[in-house]
Amino acid sequence: MKSIFIFVFVLLTTCSYAQTDKIKRIDSLLQAANQRGIFNGNALVSQKGKIIYLSSFGYADATKSKILTPTMRFDIGSISKEFNGVSIMILKEKGKLKLEDKVSKYLSFLPSWADKVQIKHLIQYTSGLPASNASSEEEVRTFLTQLPKLEFEPGTAFIYSYLNVYLQRWIIEKISGLTYTEFVKKYIFKPCKMSQTVIDAYTVDVTTARPFDNNFVEPANFTQSLTGWLRLPVEDLYKWTINLHSYQLISETSFKELAESFGDNETSLGSTEFENQQLTWHQHHGSNFNYEALMSCNVKEGITIILMTNNQNFKVYPLKDAIHAILHDKPYSLPKKSVYLDLREKVLKDFEQGLAFYRHIRETQQDIYDFSFEIGDLISTGKYLMRRQKFDEAIRIFQLSLLLNGKSEDISYNYELTGECYMRKGLHQMAILFYTKATETNPQNKNAQGMRDKLLSQL
């Protein structure tokens, strides 16, 4: 009996030491990332339902006078869209709506296109609603009421437009008789015990970390004009994952419906994976101004990693991967600086000088900059230019990225974005050409196929 006791004691001691060593290595990784200037924020790691790591790194604002703490709130960008998606499913389970219901059933003030759009299309971003530059809820409403037609037949293609989100929220308000904030507080925050989460917090709120860039400058236009967006501490987001994945808020059936995607595109839940009908993985990334957040849940192994920053450097994914490697006793490395982050502003300000900068760091600074997914950085740069109506410059960036040895999915996406540039320039024949290239390169690119078919039907 004594020998058995000694064996068990040694085993527990060894396991405890191994876990402590992993926690130290996670802390060293994030300390080094902070010193390199690629992570200023809060981090949480849990295993099998227990938080094993929670810490803060860096400053709460650009003045460097206030240090971050684990209780500070962060903007989580698109991750906020999970809450309107789950709210829709809560109403569905209460028998208040069906996903096949037309939007016009609840929002009668919209034009006739609302007779064709189903609620399901809204949560999958396949409604045909275009991207919009509206900067307030009033502007969103005006844009939608004046929109003459959709970009494509609902359910045939994908556009990641936040207009879908506002229609969801208005439907929630119409059915429930509550404001969106009141509904989420009652049916989500309260049961999840997310007591520190707020919606549309004032930008001067002292409990919220303020965003800044790598020069410690705040965004010039940092205001809260669009509504319905969450700010919360890292532990509250962790509580959300626990309740969501244990089906305390909506049933497993509803969760799977919400996770259904159009092709490989995102849904209201970001990205999910299932094995034998069981959820194994759920990940969602969000950004807004210089905020960035990543919620990564390896449900199969019981590992959750949440990273929040008020100094976006596009390194939350590789940091997440490094933490996973530490937990599995695998090799890892400290991430390098982002090519995209330093390139995008330069090509916007002076395109030729920006290209010269790209060629220079490619030739001389690969030890500092991360070129492991170079085609992705160039595609992201092109999309950044597209959002600023710089379509000719974006096309040149996409052409440059084609010189790299990319996967068929990346090349197809490149062609699709090039087609979108030409479409938005009004050059439909060129758009059809590149949408066709996209579908030929990757037959699973349903979005490019849908956009090509739409343009062909208009000839």
pLDDT digits (tens, 9 = 90+) for 393-408: 999 999 999 999 889 9
Per-residue pLDDT reduced to its tens digit, 245-263: 999 999 999 999 999 999 8
Q: Is 185 helix (H, G, I), strand (E, B) or coil?
A: helix
> pLDDT at position 9, please?
41
Residue 10 has pLDDT above 50, yes or no: no
353: domain CATH number? 1.25.40.10
User: Given CA atoms 97, 100, 105, 106 in this order, what sign does their dihedral have?
Assistant: positive
Lowest mean pLDDT among 218-222, 347-351, 416-420, 433-437: 218-222
Same domain for 224 and 166? yes
pLDDT at 347 over 80: yes
Give a yes or no: residue 287 inside a domain: yes
What per-residue confidence (pLDDT) applies to 17? 59
User: Do 153 and 295 have their domain in common?
Assistant: yes
Is 164's pLDDT higher than 50? yes
308 and 357 inside one domain: no
Query: Is there a domain that residue 65 lies in?
Result: no
The answer to the question of residue 413 being in a domain is yes
Of the three residues 327, 346, 367, the one that is the final residue of a domain is 327
Q: Does the pLDDT of residue 144 top 90, yes or no?
A: yes
For the cut 90, the answer to whether the pLDDT of residue 125 exceeds it is yes
**Residue 26 forms part of a structural domain:** no
Domain shared by 341 and 285, yes or no: no
Same domain? For 321 and 379 the reply is no
Mean pLDDT of the chain: 93
- Shared domain for 419 and 366, answered yes or no, is yes
Whether residue 154 lies inside any domain: the answer is yes
Half-sphere exposure of 100 (CA within 13 A, CB side): 0
CATH of the domain at 120: 3.40.710.10
| Range from 194-208, 314-328, 329-343, 402-416 carrying the lowest mean pLDDT | 194-208
Classify residue 108: in a domain, yes or no.
Answer: yes
Please report whether residue 5 resides in a domain.
Answer: no
> Tokens representing 221?
């236009």
The tokens describing 237, both together, are 């987001």
* Alpha helices for 69-217 (secondary structure H): 81-93, 119-124, 137-145, 163-176, 180-184, 190-192
- Residues spanned by the domain of 362: 337-457
Binning pLDDT at 50, 70 and 90, where does residue 6 land?
A: very low
Task: Render 380-431 in DSSP notation, one character per residue.
Answer: HHHHHHHTTT-HHHHHHHHHHHTTS---HHHHHHHHHHHHHHHHHTT-HHHH
End-to-end CA distance of the chain: 85
The residue that leads in pLDDT, 211 or 9, is 211
Pair (343, 394) in one structural domain = yes
10 Å CB burial of residue 319 (0-12, 13-18, 19+) is buried
415 and 303 part of one domain: no
How confident is the model over 52-62, as a mean pLDDT? 98
Q: pLDDT tens digits, residue range 67-110?
A: 999 999 999 999 999 999 999 999 999 999 999 999 999 999 99
Helix (H, G, I), strand (E, B) or coil at 53: strand
- Whether the pTM exceeds 0.85: the reply is no
What pLDDT does 224 receive? 66
Mean pLDDT value of segment 336-363: 94
> Same structural domain for residues 87 and 124?
yes
Same domain, 318 and 348: no
Is residue 3 in some structural domain?
no
Domain count, the chain: 2
**258-314 per-position pLDDT tens digit:** 999 998 888 999 999 999 999 999 999 999 989 999 999 999 999 999 999 999 999
Residues 308, 354 share a domain: no
**Statement to judge: residues 294 and 402 lie in one domain:** no
